[in-house]
Amino acid sequence: MTYVKQALPGPADDGYVPSQRRIERERFKRSRARRATAVAALSTLVTAVVLFLVITGSPGWPRTRETFFSAEYARKSLPKVLDGLLLNLQLLVACGAAVLVLGLLLAVARTLRGPVFFPLRALATAYTDFFRGLPLIICLLMVVFGVPALRLQGVTTDPVVLGGSALVLTYSAYVAEVFRAGIESVHPSQRAAARSLGLSSGQALRHVVLPQAVRRVVPPLLNDLVSLQKDTGLVSIAGAVDAVYAAQIIAGRDFNFTPYVVAGLVFVALTIPMTRFTDWITSRMDRRRAQGGIV
Amino acid sequence: MRLVNRPLRLAACTAAVLLTAAVGCAPQDESPGGPRAAGQGPRSCDRGKLATVAPGKLTVGTDKPAYAPWFTDDDPANGKGFESAVAYAVAKRLGYGKEAVEWQTVPFNNAFAPGEKKFDFDINQISISPERKRAVAFSSGYYDVRQAVIALKGSRAARATSLADLKDLKLGAQVGSTSLDVATDTLRPTRPVAAFQKNDLAKSALRNGQVDAIVTDLPTAFYITSAEVKDAEVVGQFATDGKGREQFGLVLDRESRITGCVSAAVDALRKDGTLGALEKKWLTDTVDAPVLK
C-alpha cells in the first residue's frame, strides 16, 4: 500500500529536492532574463530618444508639426471624419458579406469536376482573372460613371451603391482565389473517404471539404477584409463623402494636412482590433489542430 | 558575460550613427545667419535678380491638366489662356522674359505642402483666405471670382431663379475648391453636396443625372456650357457675400523672399489695366449671368 501511494504523482510528497546545481542554473537563467529585459528597455529608450531628437531637431519640424499635427484642426476635423467613417463601415459590412458569398460561389464553381460543368468553370476562371487584374480604381470609374451613362431604366445612379458593387466585383475575385486555395488544400483522401461512406459529391463538398477549407483560409480572408475596409474610401470618387474625403475637404479648404492624420489614425484604430481578432483565430485554430481535435 | 555588452555597444553605435546622420542631413539654410536670413535684409525687387528657386529663371507651377479658359490646350507655356497670360505678365514685370519662365507641374495638394517648394509661385485658381494664409503666402489678388451654378437645359435646376429653388437639389462641386464651400455653406442644401476630385468627374455626373447642378467659378461655368457640355447652361451666379470679395492669388512659399515683389507686380498690372485687358481677352464676359439671391 505504501508503495502504491508513493508511486502516485504529487507535487509535494514526491520526495524531489532540486539539486544545488539546478538551483544555481535557474538562478542564473532568471538573472539573464532580467538582464535581457533591462537591455531591451534601455535600447528602446535610446532609440525613442534618438528618433525624438532627430524628428524634433530637424529644421522643418515646427512647420511640419503645425501642418500635420495641429490640435486645433484635429478637433475641428474629427466629427466630420467620424461622420464619413459611417459610410466606410456601412460599405464594409454590406460589401464584406456580399464578397464572402460571391467569392465562395465562384471558388466552388471553379473547383467543380466533370465535363458538364466546363462552361461554369470557364466563366468563373475568366471572372477571377479579369477582376483580379483590373485595377480597382478603373473598375470603380467604369461602374460609377459608365453604368449611369447607359441611362438604363430602373438602374440606380447612386454612387454609393454603384461604388459598392465595383468593390464587390473586384474583391470577390480575390476572395474566390483564397477560397479555392483552401478547397484545394484539403487532401483528396478526405473527399474519397466521404464518397466511400456514401455521401454524394455535393454532400462531400458541403460537409467534409468546405468546413476544412474555410477554416484554413480564415487568416487570409480577414486580411482581405482589412484591405477592403481601407478601399471602401475609394467610393468617394463619385462624390460620396467618406472619412478620407471629409479630411481632404478640410485639408483643401484650410491648407492643413492634420485631418488626413486624424482619418489615418481612425482607420488604424479600426484595423488593429481586426488584426488582433485574426491573430486570436489563428492561434485558436493552431491549438485545436495540435490537439488533434479536428482533422 | 562578455556577450552581454555587445547589444549595448551596438545600440550606442546605432544611436551615434543616427544622430550623426541627422545632423549631417539637416539643411542649414534656415539657421540664423544662413544665406536665407542674409538675403532678407534689403528687400529689393531688382529686375531679373530675384532670389528664385533656379537662379536667373522664374519657375511657375500649375496643376495638370491645366483647364480652359485659364489655360489652353493643357499647355501653360503657350502664353494662351488667362492664367498663362497673367503669369507671363507678372514675369515680365519682374524682369523675366518669356524664355526665362519655366513651368512646373504642381498638384493642388503639393502647392501647400510644407517643405522646400520647387516653384517660385503657383498659379492655379487658388482663392485667398485667412485660413490658407497660415500655410502659404499669397500675392495680391489677380482676379475677382464669382461662383456660378450650371445645370442641364430644361431640368428643374435650370429653371431656378433664386437660391431657395436650389435648396432641395443634389449639387456637386470640386473638392478643395471654394465652390464646394459656397455650395455647402451659402446654399445650405438639404442633401449633402457631392464632392468630386476633378471638375471632369463632376461634369460626367451632371451628364449622367447623378447630380442636378454643379457649382464652379463663373469663367469655368461659361467654358463648360459653351464648349464641353453644350446641353447645359449657366443658371446664375452667386452674389458676392458681405465678408468681402473672393480673389485668386499667386501662391508662394510662406518663407519666400519674393512675395512682396510679386505682389507689387500684380498691383502694378492691375493699376495699368493689363489684368483688365487680359480678362477681356481670355474670359467670357461674365456680367450677363443673373445673380441668384
Say yes or no for a CB contact (<8 Å) between A253 and B4: no
What's residue B39's pLDDT? Answer: 40
Q: Which residues of A touch B (CB under 8 A)?
A: 35, 39, 42-43, 46-47, 49-51, 53-54, 57-60, 63-64, 66-68, 145, 148-149, 151, 157, 159, 236-241, 245, 248-249, 251-257
Beta pairing class for B147-152 and B213-217: antiparallel
Residue-wise pLDDT for A180-237, tens only, equals 999 999 999 999 999 999 999 889 999 999 999 988 898 889 889 888 988 998 888 8
Separation in Å, CA A66 to CA A123, B118, B134, B159 = 54, 21, 9, 46
What's the whole-number mean pLDDT along residues B128-138? 89
Maximum C-alpha span of chain A: 93
Q: Is A36 a residue whose pLDDT tops 50? A: yes
Q: Is A49 a residue whose pLDDT tops 90? A: yes
Residue-wise pLDDT for B68-117, tens only, equals 788 888 888 888 889 999 999 999 888 888 888 989 898 888 888 877 78
What's residue A159's pLDDT? Answer: 85
C-alpha cell at B130: 485667412
Half-sphere exposure of A158 (CA within 13 A, CB side): 9
Residue-wise pLDDT for B217-265, tens only, equals 888 888 888 888 888 888 888 887 656 678 999 999 888 888 889 999 9
Winning range, highest mean pLDDT, from A59-68, A90-99, B20-29: A90-99
What's residue A72's pLDDT? Answer: 87
Distance separating alpha carbons of residues B146 and B149, to the nearest angstrom: 10
Say yes or no for a CB contact (<8 Å) between A145 and B204: yes
Q: Which residues of B touch A236 (CB under 8 A)?
A: 195
Please report the ipTM that was assigned to this predicted complex: 0.74
Closest to A214 in 3D by CA, of A225, A205, A202: A205
What's residue B115's pLDDT? Answer: 75
What's residue B20's pLDDT? Answer: 58
Q: Which residues of B touch A237 (CB under 8 A)?
A: 197, 201
CA distance, residue A55 to nearest chain B CA (Å): 9
Residue B248 DSSP one-character state: E
What's residue A1's pLDDT? Answer: 46
Q: What is the full DSSP assignment across B69-82?
A: TTSSTT-GGGS-SH
C-alpha cell at B131: 485660413
Pick the CATH number of B42-144+252-279 from 3.40.50.300, 3.40.190.10, 3.40.640.10, 2.40.128.20: 3.40.190.10
Q: Burial level of A189, CB count in 10 A (0-12/13-18/19+)?
A: exposed
- Tell me the CATH class for B147-238: alpha beta
pLDDT band at residue B26 under the 50/70/90 scheme: low
Query: Residues of chain B with pLDDT > 90: what percent?
Result: 16
- Nearest beta carbon to residue A63 from set B114, B129, B175: B114
pLDDT band at residue B29 under the 50/70/90 scheme: very low
What's residue B48's pLDDT? Answer: 75
What's the whole-number mean pLDDT along residues B126-149? 89
Would you say B91 and B101 are in contact if contact means Cβ atoms under 8 Å apart?
yes
Residue B65 identity (one-letter amino acid):
P
Q: Is B276 a residue whose pLDDT tops 90? A: no
What phi and psi values does residue A210 have, to the nearest 5 degrees?
A: -60, -45
Q: What is the full DSSP assignment across B281-293?
A: HHS---TTSPEE-
Helix (H) or strand (E) holding B150: strand B147-152
Beta pairing class for B194-196 and B232-238: unpaired
Would you say B262 and B90 are in contact if contact means Cβ atoms under 8 Å apart?
yes
Q: Is B154 a residue whose pLDDT tops 50? A: yes
Torsion sign (Cα): A222, A226, A232, A234: negative
**Paired strand residues for B122:** B61, B251
Query: For residue B107, what are the contacts with CB-CB under 8 A and spacing of at least 6?
Result: B63, B64
What's residue B35's pLDDT? Answer: 40
What's residue B11's pLDDT? Answer: 55
Distance separating alpha carbons of residues B128 and B137, to the nearest angstrom: 9
What's residue B9's pLDDT? Answer: 64
B42-144+252-279 against B147-238: fold identical: yes
What's residue B284's pLDDT? Answer: 66
Query: Within 10 A of B39 (CB to CB), how many other CB atoms are there?
Result: 14
Say yes or no for a CB contact (<8 Å) between A249 and B175: yes
What's residue A4's pLDDT? Answer: 47
Number of A–B residue contacts, CB under 8 Å: 125
Say yes or no for a CB contact (<8 Å) between A54 and B18: yes
Of B132 and B8, more confident:
B132
What's the whole-number mean pLDDT along residues B1-18? 57
Would you say B292 and B235 are in contact if contact means Cβ atoms under 8 Å apart?
yes
What's residue A94's pLDDT? Answer: 95
Q: Is B56 a residue whose pLDDT tops 90? A: no
What is the chain B residue with the closest CA to A258?
B113
Distance separating alpha carbons of residues B193 and B178, to the nearest angstrom: 13
Cis peptide bond N-terminal to B69, omega within 30: yes
Q: What is the full DSSP assignment across B16-61?
A: HHHHHHHHHHS--TTSTTSHHHHHTSS----TT----SSTT-EEEE
Q: Which residues of B touch A257 (CB under 8 A)?
A: 113
Closest to B121 in 3D by CA, of B258, B274, B269: B258
Residue-wise pLDDT for A232-242, tens only, equals 988 888 888 88
Residue-wise pLDDT for A116-141, tens only, equals 999 999 999 999 999 999 999 999 99
What's residue A192's pLDDT? Answer: 93
What's residue A180's pLDDT? Answer: 94
Would you say A110 and A180 are in contact if contact means Cβ atoms under 8 Å apart?
yes
Residue A11 DSSP one-character state: S
Q: Is A114 a residue whose pLDDT tops 60? A: yes
Domain residues of chain B, as ranges?
Answer: 42-144+252-279, 147-238
Say yes or no for a CB contact (<8 Å) between A67 and B113: yes
- Choose the weakest-confidence range: A159-168, B2-11, B58-67, B226-235: B2-11
Distance separating alpha carbons of residues B110 and B132, to the nearest angstrom: 13
pLDDT band at residue B36 under the 50/70/90 scheme: very low
Spacing of C-alpha A6 from chain mean position: 54
Torsion sign (Cα): B9, B11, B17, B23: negative
- Choose the weakest-confidence range: A268-272, B5-9, B191-195: B5-9
Say yes or no for a CB contact (<8 Å) between B176 and A254: no
Q: Which residues of A touch B112 (CB under 8 A)?
A: 255
B151-185 as b/e: b if 16+ CB within 10 A: bbeebebbebeebeebeebbbbbbbbbbbbbbbbe
Distance separating alpha carbons of residues B100 and B92, to the nearest angstrom: 9
Q: Is B33 a residue whose pLDDT tops 50? A: no
Residue-wise pLDDT for A13-27, tens only, equals 677 888 999 999 999
Alpha-helical (H) ranges within A199-257 are: 201-204, 210-216, 218-231, 243-254
What is the chain B residue with the closest CA to A58?
B26
